[in-house]
Structure formats: C-alpha cells, structure tokens
Amino acid sequence: MYGDPDTIRKILTQSGDTWAVVGLSSNPKRAAYRVADVLQRYGKRVVPVHPKAETVHGEQGYASLADIPFDVDVVDVFVNSDLAGPVADEATAIGAKAVWFQLDVIDEAAYDRTRAAGLDMVMDYCPAIEFPLLG
C-alpha cells in the first residue's frame, strides 16, 4: 500500500547512490547491518546513522542526519515507528530525495508529510527484498 512498484524502482535505480541508514550499528545480528551489506552489493554507499556514530561496513558513522557533511540521496529508516516521523522530517530538512521506512516501520502522518514535501517515500518494505525483484 505504501510502496507502489514505480516508486520502489525509482528509489532503487534513479534516486542516487548515497543511502543514510538510520539505526545502523556494528551489530551483525541486526537487520540494518545485513540490509546495509546488501545495499553495498548493489552499489550503494551506505552511511551509518546511529548515536554511537560507529564505522560500519567501512563507512564512517554519524550521530544524526544533520551531522553528515555531504549530500544524502535516500534515508533508510530502521527505528521504531514512534521514532520514525522525526527522522523523515530530518530527511526532508537535509534535502534527501527519498525516504524508505523498513518493514514494520509505519507512520502514516510522516508518509503524508514527506510526500507533500516532494520526496519519494516507501513504507513497510525492505530494499534487500525489492532489489532482486527488479529483474
């Protein structure tokens, strides 16, 4: 419902290659760690965003989106739904082109705000699942 095929394809193939992954830490047991690895295999630059600002998959981490000193194309969100709305607002503030809320991350008001601000958005989907389906 919150990820039509055209928007998914556009984000994955046309929105740019720098993806900030919010909630990405160095814990290999977390879904964000595994999905970031898949994103890298598909040619995306993964920028970890986590309060610890750890280096993950060879990329310097940052404590917040606002701390990233270069442009971000897509913000991939791995936080609880009640924290996701402010992240979407930050993505808009930094000039991202798209926001991707991971599986089970749902905030309909944030979805509406983000789309109204002109960003592409997908919610309750996973790019690691969607990339192989592009064909």
Question: Using one digit for the tens of pLDDT, what is the confidence trace for 48-105?
Answer: 999 999 999 999 999 999 999 999 999 999 999 999 999 999 999 999 999 999 999 9
Encode 69-99: b = buried (16+ Cβ within 10 Å), e = exposed: eeebbbbbbbbebeebbebbebbbeeebbbb
What pLDDT sits at residue 25? 95
Rounded to whole angstroms, the Cα distance separating 33 from 47 reads: 11
Token couple for 42:
């598909």
What pLDDT sits at residue 63? 97
> Phi-psi region for residue 64, left (φ > 0), alpha (ψ -120 to 50) or beta?
beta
For the chain, the farthest-separated pair of C-alpha atoms sits apart, in whole angstroms, at 37
What pLDDT sits at residue 113? 97
What pLDDT sits at residue 86? 97
What pLDDT sits at residue 111? 97
Question: Using one digit for the tens of pLDDT, what is the confidence trace for 110-134?
Answer: 999 999 999 999 999 999 999 999 8
Rounded to whole angstroms, the Cα distance separating 10 from 12 reads: 6
- Residue 44 DSSP symbol: P
What pLDDT sits at residue 22? 98
Question: Using one digit for the tens of pLDDT, what is the confidence trace for 14-64?
Answer: 999 999 999 999 999 999 999 999 999 999 999 999 999 999 999 999 999
Q: What is the pTM of this model?
A: 0.96
pLDDT at 135 over 80: no
